[in-house]
C-alpha cells in the first residue's frame, strides 16, 4: 500500500508542476503550462509512465482598474474594452523514476477583443488572434527522497519557455466607416511574448491523513529580453509621447504565480479550497523593463472539484478575483517624470476564470 500511495503522489505532484499562469484580462500574462490541479488526483496506478492533460481555460475581462480603483464610468459609458480569451493547454508528462520527471506543454489560444478607441470611436468592433502559444519544456526533481518522505515533500522544476507563439499577430482596425488598417493586435491577445524565458517552480505538499492534505505552488518566469519590437500603434505611427516613454513597442515581461490550499477527499471526489495570486511585475528580475506592458496582480479565492476514475480524472477550478491592482508601469513613471503629472494607465480584469480539464494516464 505504501508503494501504491507513493506512486500516486509522484504522478499527482508531477502534474502540479506545470503551472497555468495566464492572468485575467489586459494584464497580459501568457500561457506557460498546463493547469495546476494541486492535489486534485486521488486514484493513480503504479504501471503508468505517461500522463496527458488537456485543460480548457476561459475568461471575459471587462472591469477597468487604475491601481485598485475600479473605473466604473467605463461600463456606465459603454467604453470598456472586452476580451474573451480561451486557451487549450496540452501537456505531456514522462515519469522517469520516483524522483525525476519531464514535461512538454503546448497551448492553443483563441482570443477576441472588442473596443471603441482602437477603431477611431466609430463603434464597437473586434480584433482576433488564434494559434499556438509559447511552448515550454521542463524537468522536475524531488528535494527529499520520496520513498523516505511519503507524507510530505518539495519538488523543484527548471524549464525553458520558447518564443513559438506569434508576438506580432495582426488584424484590421477601423479608420473610417469604409477604410481599415492592418496592424498588430493588442498585447493582451498576442499569442506569445517574443522572449526565450527560464522558469523556476516549487511544489510542496503535506498529507495529514488519507482524506486531508495541503499544497503550495510557486512559479516564476524570467524573460531577459526587454522588448520584442512589436509596435503598439495598431499599424499607424507611434505618438511622440509613446516614443519618449518607451511604450511604442511591446515589452517582454516576467511573470509569477503563487497558490496554496487544502484538499479533502470524499470517495471519488476531491474538494479543494485555496488562494491564488498572479502577477506581472513592473520590473524584470533579469534584463530591462522598458516597453509597453500592463503590470499588476490578481488575488483570487480558488475553489475546485476533481472526480477520479481508474485511468483518468476530470476537474473544474474557478478562481474568483477578490483584489485587482493595475500597478504603475515603467513608461508611466517616465511620463510622470517628464511632465510632472502622475501618469497611471488602466487595465481590464475578469471577475473569474473557468478551468475545466481531463487527465489520462497510460
pLDDT for residue 99: 86
Q: Which residues of the chain have pLDDT under 50?
A: 1-25, 28, 32-46
* pLDDT the model gives residue 47: 55
CA distance 81 to 71: 12
pLDDT at 60: 96
Helical ranges in the chain per DSSP H? 2-16, 72-76, 240-245, 330-339
The closest alpha carbon to 32, from 162, 215, 224, 204, belongs to 162
46 neighbors 2 (Cβ within 8 angstroms)? no
The SS3 of residue 229 is strand
Nine cell digits for residue 55: 485543460
Q: Closest by alpha carbon to 216, among 207, 225, 203?
A: 203
Does domain 2-361 correspond to CATH entry 2.40.160.40? Answer: yes
Question: What's the whole-model pTM score?
Answer: 0.88
Residue 346 CA to residue 69 CA, distance in Å, equals: 10
Matching residue, cell 495529514 = 208
| Coil, strand or helix at 81 | coil
pLDDT tens sequence across 245-301:
999 999 999 999 999 999 999 999 999 999 999 999 999 999 999 999 999 999 999
- Measured CA distances, 226 to 35, 166, 193, 287 (Å): 27, 17, 10, 6
How far is residue 108 from each of residues 30, 133, 232, measured CA to CA in Å? 11, 6, 23
Predicted local distance difference test score (pLDDT) of residue 148:
82
What pLDDT, on a 0 to 100 scale, did the predictor assign at position 95? 87
Amino acid at each position: 500500500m505504501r508503494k501504491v500511495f507513493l506512486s500516486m503522489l509522484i504522478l499527482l505532484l508531477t502534474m502540479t508542476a506545470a503551472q497555468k499562469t495566464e492572468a485575467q484580462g489586459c494584464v497580459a500574462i501568457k500561457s506557460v503550462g498546463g493547469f495546476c490541479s494541486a492535489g486534485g488526483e486521488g486514484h493513480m496506478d503504479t504501471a503508468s509512465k505517461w500522463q496527458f492533460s488537456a485543460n480548457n481555460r476561459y475568461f471575459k475581462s471587462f472591469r477597468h482598474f487604475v491601481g485598485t480603483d475600479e473605473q466604473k464610468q467605463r461600463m456606465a459609458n459603454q467604453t470598456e474594452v472586452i476580451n474573451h480569451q480561451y486557451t487549450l493547454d496540452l501537456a505531456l508528462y514522462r515519469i522517469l523514476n520516483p524522483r525525476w520527471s519531464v514535461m512538454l506543454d503546448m497551448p492553443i489560444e483563441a482570443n477576441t477583443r472588442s473596443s471603441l478607441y482602437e477603431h477611431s470611436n466609430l463603434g464597437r468592433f473586434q480584433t482576433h488572434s488564434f494559434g499556438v502559444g509559447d511552448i515550454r519544456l521542463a524537468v522536475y526533481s524531488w528535494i527529499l527522497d520520496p520513498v523516505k518522505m511519503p507524507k510530505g515533500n518539495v519538488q523543484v522544476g527548471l524549464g525553458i519557455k520558447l518564443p513559438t507563439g506569434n508576438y506580432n499577430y495582426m488584424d484590421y482596425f477601423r479608420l473610417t466607416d469604409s477604410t481599415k488598417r492592418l496592424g498588430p493586435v493588442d498585447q493582451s491577445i498576442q499569442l506569445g511574448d517574443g522572449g526565450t524565458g527560464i522558469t523556476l517552480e516549487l511544489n510542496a505538499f503535506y498529507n495529514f491523513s488519507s482524506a486531508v492534505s495541503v499544497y503550495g505552488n510557486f512559479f516564476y518566469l524570467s524573460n531577459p529580453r526587454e522588448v520584442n519590437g512589436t509596435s503598439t500603434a495598431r499599424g499607424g505611427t507611434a505618438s511622440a509621447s509613446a516614443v519618449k516613454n518607451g511604450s511604442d513597442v511591446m515589452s517582454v515581461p516576467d511573470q509569477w504565480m503563487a497558490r496554496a490550499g487544502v484538499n479533502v477527499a470524499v470517495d471519488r471526489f476531491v474538494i479543494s479550497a485555496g488562494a491564488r495570486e498572479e502577477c506581472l511585475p513592473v520590473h524584470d528580475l533579469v534584463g530591462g523593463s522598458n516597453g509597453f506592458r500592463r503590470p499588476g496582480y490578481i488575488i483570487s479565492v480558488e475553489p475546485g472539484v476533481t472526480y477520479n476514475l481508474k485511468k483518468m480524472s476530470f476537474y473544474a477550478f474557478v478562481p474568483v478575483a477578490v483584489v485587482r491592482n493595475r500597478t504603475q508601469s515603467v513608461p508611466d513613471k517616465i511620463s510622470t517624470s517628464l511632465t510632472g503629472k502622475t501618469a497611471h494607465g488602466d487595465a481590464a480584469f475578469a471577475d473569474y476564470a473557468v478551468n475545466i480539464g481531463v487527465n489520462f494516464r497510460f
